[in-house]
Amino acid sequence: MSDVVPSGAPRTGPRRRARRTALPPTFSALRHRNFRLFWTGQCVSLMATWIQNASQSWLVLELTNSAFFLGLVSSVQFIPTLLFSLFAGVMIDRHNKRDLIVATQTALMIFAFLLAGLIYFKRIQYWHILLIAFLTGVAQSIDTPARQAFVIEMTSPEDLMNAVALNSVIFNLARIVGPAAAGLLIDRIGFFMSFFLNGVSFIAVIAGLLLMRVNRPTSKRESKSVMRDLAEGLRYIRGNRKLATIIVTVGVISLFVLNFNVLVPAFARDVLHQEASGYGFLTSAMGLGAFVGALTLATFASRERGVTRFLAGAILLPLFTIVLGLTRQYMSSVATIAFLGFSMILFTTTANATTQLTAPDELRGRVVSVYMLIYIGVTPAGAFLAGWLASRLGPGTALVILGSVGLGFAIYVASRRAALLETPRGSAPGRTRGHASSSSSSSSPNKQHGTRLEAPPAGRIIESAKPTQPIFGRTAPHLAPAHNLQPPGPGKPLTPLLTVQGPFVHDHVAGIR
């Protein structure tokens, strides 16, 4: 049974104890009780998820003996993301995120047990896997953006980067260990145990979610149609130059660069002249680099230098892709692909965290859903483009061409970095009442047009952004600076605060399952 704290109620001990808890910088986000519960459950569940993923691929091959049918399972599971992601964002902003995640995790648990039962009773058929893959995709189209948007509510803006990096640590560790464990389970016990263990692992996540203490906003949001809510989120992204720049950059890099792993098997065989063991070592090196990158970000990353890390990742990722395409020595390729894994985590983790920090609480679900749609949605097109180039010019040349396009775009964005450094117009200076982890403020709320914003901490200065020409998008028409004055603290001058005009919802990224 969860302990629900009424909105506006004073914060109790756990939050204050979290502030006094001394933890190494690598694990600073774990001082928040809610995130500790979430992260512990993820440690168990992600490992089992990778075990099932590897086992399911092998099971499909045994049932069909067809690489085409194997790829079809992935495609069918991906389709719901394209169809439902944007509408899922509206749902996430309208409802309590914790409750949504409990529902989706329960559905995923049922799907795992259902497959385990079909295997145990020897009734499993290919169409069963295909159908459950589609249903899994439907659940994940809600679950993934909801979990991404929920991370900041479990922690704080200062610890968000660390939280996302810690999720990446366990995700990449599970990606390394999970498939190997799956092979042992299949050889020793059979397929049943892989799916059964994954079903059991969801209990850890669900239990952690139910044990959390969360706020439930008491104020009611203005009733709107789904399409109006969706359009509101898209207008905000278009008008916020920082968000628009990040999302477009993620789309371009994902299209041209992040599909480099599609070419690694052909590169290992045709360019480096390696057998399966050599290819496997390359893949492990990439996973190791990603793991080290996530651990490094968790240790040294701070909120303030997010833009610098984002641009560094956007440049280094295509740069190492080009270097990989030019290498012809095996050990050089191993080192390069390890740096590729490191750069990939640097780019994706920073982009994820910066997007969440930039989006206001009341729109975060829709913003993260658009981010995830762009991030995942270009994958099929990028994979097709990479494969087509490799078939015509060879995998090495394809890597160089794709990396060059990505590098050119990243350099262009870096040359216009003012768009990423400017304080975004319309971002709320304080957390809204629905924030799960922020302590209640003793300051009076700043109200305008029915929107409640908490006063910033003493001494914090927030200035209204000046209108300028964005790289992508334009200033949102429904967001404008106001000149409400509040004392920031003793001895500090009065400073204009940025407030939000117009009706907004009050309900508010993370490793990706």
The band of 384, judged by pLDDT with boundaries at 50, 70 and 90, is confident
pLDDT in tens, 84-143: 988 989 999 888 999 999 999 999 999 999 999 999 999 999 999 999 999 999 999 999
Give the Cα separation of 252 and 342 in Å (integer).
19
Give the Cα separation of 122 and 117 in Å (integer).
8
Residue type, 13: G
Give the Cα separation of 256 and 433 in Å (integer).
40
Cα end-to-end distance, the chain, whole Å: 25
The band of 500, judged by pLDDT with boundaries at 50, 70 and 90, is very low
Residue type, 37: L
List C-alpha distances in Å: 178 to 184, 286, 287.
10, 15, 12
Name the nearest CA neighbour of 44 among 211, 190, 183, 200.
200
Q: Return the SS3 of 305.
A: coil
Give the ranges where 416-456 is alpha helix by DSSP (H). 418-421
The band of 72, judged by pLDDT with boundaries at 50, 70 and 90, is confident
Give the Cα separation of 125 and 59 in Å (integer).
10
Give the Cα separation of 506 and 451 in Å (integer).
8
Whether residue 480 contacts residue 464, with contact meaning beta carbons closer than 8 Å, is answered with no
List C-alpha distances in Å: 209 to 50, 103, 106, 409, 439.
21, 11, 11, 40, 20
The band of 4, judged by pLDDT with boundaries at 50, 70 and 90, is very low
Give the Cα separation of 203 and 350 in Å (integer).
30
Pairing of strands 485-486, 451-453: unpaired
Give the Cα separation of 429 and 361 in Å (integer).
11
Give the Cα separation of 424 and 410 in Å (integer).
21
**Tokens representing residue 475 in the block:** 């200033």
Residue 175 is predicted with a pLDDT of: 82
pLDDT in tens, 163-217: 988 998 998 888 888 888 888 898 899 999 999 999 999 999 999 999 998 876 5
Residue 509 is predicted with a pLDDT of: 33
Burial class (CB in 10 A: 0-12, 13-18, 19+), 309: buried
Q: Which residue reads 């980067």 in tokens?
A: 161
* Whole-number percent of the chain with pLDDT over 90: 40
Residue 383 is predicted with a pLDDT of: 82
The band of 420, judged by pLDDT with boundaries at 50, 70 and 90, is low
All structural domains of the chain, each given as residue ranges with its CATH number in brackets, are: 3-421 (1.20.1250.20)
Residue 474 is predicted with a pLDDT of: 42
Cβ neighbours around 491 below 10 Å, total: 8
Residue 217 is predicted with a pLDDT of: 56
pLDDT in tens, 445-484: 343 344 333 434 433 333 334 344 444 444 343 333 333 3
Bridge partners of 216? 6
352 or 503: whose pLDDT is higher? 352
Residue type, 421: L
Please provide residue 434's backbone torsions phi and psi, each rounded to the nearest 5 degrees: -80, 0
Give the Cα separation of 19 and 28 in Å (integer).
10
**Tokens representing residue 63 in the block:** 């049932």
Give the Cα separation of 365 and 356 in Å (integer).
9
Query: H or E stretch including 214?
Result: strand 213-216
